[in-house]
Amino acid sequence: MSSFASQGASAPPAPANVDVTAIFEQISSWHQRWEIFRGVYTPGRNPVSTLLDGVGLPKDLRGCRVLDVGAFNGCFSFECERRGALEVVAMDLQDPRDLGFDALSKLLGSQVRFEQGSVYNLDSTSLGEFDIVLFLGVLYHLRYPLLALDQLRKVTKGTLFLETLVIDNRFLDGQKDFQALRNYHPALENVALWQFYKGAELAGDHSNWFGPNIRGVLDGLESAGFSPRLQSTWGDRAGFQAAAGGPGTIGASYEGASDIVRKGLNL
């Protein structure tokens, strides 16, 4: 157990003679705002506590194996460790040194393990299965979002906690952003939609590929073999919980029946 896990869910006091601000300034990109020590927050803009409340993550994670996919700075992973998780694995495409993960881990005395890798390459043979999987702020950055949900199902034995942009109130119509789907037709909120962004149409960000509506997320999760439900919405975001279990639908398709496809996609 790490040096701070025994503190429970509350942030511990800052260690003496440590210039936390100087450590923060060494990292160029902070996305996550987290109370690392009592009254001391990482300089990101996305509040960790708000997002975890939005997906309904339990306060007590004792005995749980946790996987945080798209961990970035690692604050969600460290918070899970603080909540008593038995083991936490953080995964991201980028080098943990560049993300600030290594610096935070050293500062905290954390035992969270970092795996540099992609959601597309998740493998229960090497990683095992997890009671809790976090997938926060990642889905809409993926060119192959449904493949990602299939891969997440392979390593989830408990519950997937997912947060994402949704377009129910942020449909992009040409240059008009933040348009409500219901204003185009009342039925659109009940039709599974994934709006494709071929460039930087959404917020000038080339990393945005698909914006789903709530129904699209729910149906995508169900097709991957989850039993999902909407947990909460705020602004253009939504939080979901998806329990492992359910028939899935890929197995009945040509792709699902093809050994060539399943091997090529690591399904």
Q: Which tens digits make up the pLDDT trace of 48-92?
A: 999 999 999 999 999 999 999 999 999 999 999 999 999 999 999
| 196 in Cβ contact with 210 (< 8 Å) | yes
- For residue 180, the 8-state DSSP code is -
Per-residue pLDDT tens over the stretch 88-136: 999 999 999 999 999 999 999 999 999 999 999 999 999 999 999 999 9
Q: Does the residue 245 lie in any domain?
A: yes
For tokens 């996609």, what's the residue?
265
Tokens of 145: 């979002």
Spatial distance between the Cα atoms of 12 and 20, rounded to a whole number of angstroms: 14
pLDDT at residue 250 is higher than 50: yes
Question: Beta-carbon neighbour count of residue 143 at 10 Å?
Answer: 11
- 13: pLDDT confidence band, cut at 50, 70 and 90? very high
| 123 in Cβ contact with 147 (< 8 Å) | no
How distant, in Å, are the alpha carbons of 101, 188, 242, 253, 264 from that of 68? Answer: 13, 32, 15, 30, 25
- 9: pLDDT confidence band, cut at 50, 70 and 90? confident
Q: Does the residue 64 lie in any domain?
A: yes
Instruction: Write phi, then psi, for 154 (nearest 5 degrees).
Output: -65, -25
pLDDT attached to residue 60: 98
Q: Does the residue 19 lie in any domain?
A: yes
Q: Does the residue 183 lie in any domain?
A: no
pLDDT at residue 16 is higher than 60: yes
Average pLDDT of the segment spanning 29-35: 97
Give me the domain span that covers residue 251: 5-166+196-264
Q: State what percent of residues in the chain have pLDDT above 90.
A: 85
Q: Does the residue 155 lie in any domain?
A: yes
Closest CA to 183 of 193, 192, 202, 170: 170
The total domain count for the chain is: 1
For tokens 């990482």, what's the residue?
42
Q: Which residues lie closer than 8 Å to 204 by C-beta, 6 or more apart?
A: none
For tokens 């997938």, what's the residue?
135
Q: Does the residue 184 lie in any domain?
A: no
Average pLDDT of the segment spanning 171-197: 97
Q: Does the residue 89 lie in any domain?
A: yes
Average pLDDT of the segment spanning 152-167: 98
pLDDT attached to residue 265: 74
Q: pTM score, two decimals?
A: 0.94
What CATH number does residue 240 fall under? 3.40.50.150
Q: Does the residue 180 lie in any domain?
A: no
Spatial distance between the Cα atoms of 237 and 246, rounded to a whole number of angstroms: 25
Classify burial at 95, counting beta carbons within 10 Å of its beta carbon; exposed 0-12, middle 13-18, buried 19 or more.
exposed
Closest CA to 67 of 115, 134, 113: 134
